């Protein structure tokens, strides 16, 4: 069954612990700040950066709250699972505007426990216990663009 599913190639192979952590960070940012998922992402093995469109700059306390919330999710040892659905089934459940124009009819849902689900073709860890500890290295605010850039690393589990 599964070999008949045609999926678009993911254009990059991201380091699975970092990339899976990105899913958790996105959901946590949505929960804490009511924003959308990152507007730009640069994921690498040693350090990564994510940009968010926000109304105002998060405070140092906000950053600590983000770290704590993400690490609590990681510590729960949640399974990361995938599910294949059609674009039609994905309507209303996911933001399909983020799909490339040539996306295949079948899309892949990636779930981190019951904490987050999104459409993704990247490479993930099997369980959040493989991620390590999330640590924000630095962050800055661009008032003109209303963009918050955050750099982070993972401390090995």
Shortest distance in whole angstroms from residue 11 CB to Zn ion = 13
Q: Is 17 in the site for Zn ion (CB under 5 A)?
A: no
Burial of 145 (0-12, 13-18, 19+ CB in 10 A): exposed
Specify the stretch interacting with Zn ion by CB under 5 A; choose among 61-69, 94-102, 114-122, 138-146.
Answer: 114-122
Q: Is 21 in the site for Zn ion (CB under 5 A)?
A: no
CA distance 112 to 82: 9
Beta-bridge mates of residue 53: 147
Structure tokens at 151: 């750099």
CA distance 10 to 6: 12
> Given the structure tokens 């899976």, which residue do they identify?
20
Shortest distance in whole angstroms from residue 29 CB to Zn ion = 15
Tell which one of 120, 125, 150, 154 touches Zn ion (CB under 5 A).
120
Tell which one of 24, 122, 134, 154 touches Zn ion (CB under 5 A).
122
Shortest distance in whole angstroms from residue 23 CB to Zn ion = 6
Q: Is 50 in the site for Zn ion (CB under 5 A)?
A: no
Q: Which of 41, 29, 33 is nearest to 120 (CA)?
A: 41
Interacting residues with Zn ion (CB under 5 A)? 120, 122
């Amino acid at each position: 069954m599964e070999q008949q599913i045609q999926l678009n190639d993911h254009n990059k192979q991201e380091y699975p612990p970092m990339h899976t952590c990105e899913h958790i960070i996105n959901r946590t940012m949505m929960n804490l700040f009511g924003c959308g998922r990152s507007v730009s992402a640069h994921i690498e093995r040693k350090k990564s950066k994510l940009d968010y469109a926000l109304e105002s700059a998060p405070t140092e306390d906000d950053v600590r709250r983000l770290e704590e919330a993400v690490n609590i999710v990681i510590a729960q040892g949640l399974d990361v699972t995938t599910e294949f659905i059609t674009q039609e089934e994905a309507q209303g459940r996911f933001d399909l505007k983020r799909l490339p124009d040539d996306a295949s009819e079948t899309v892949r849902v990636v779930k981190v426990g019951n904490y987050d689900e999104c459409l993704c073709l990247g490479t993930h860890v099997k369980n959040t216990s493989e991620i390590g500890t999330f640590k924000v290295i630095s962050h800055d605010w661009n008032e003109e663009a209303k963009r918050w850039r955050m750099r982070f690393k993972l401390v090995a589990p």
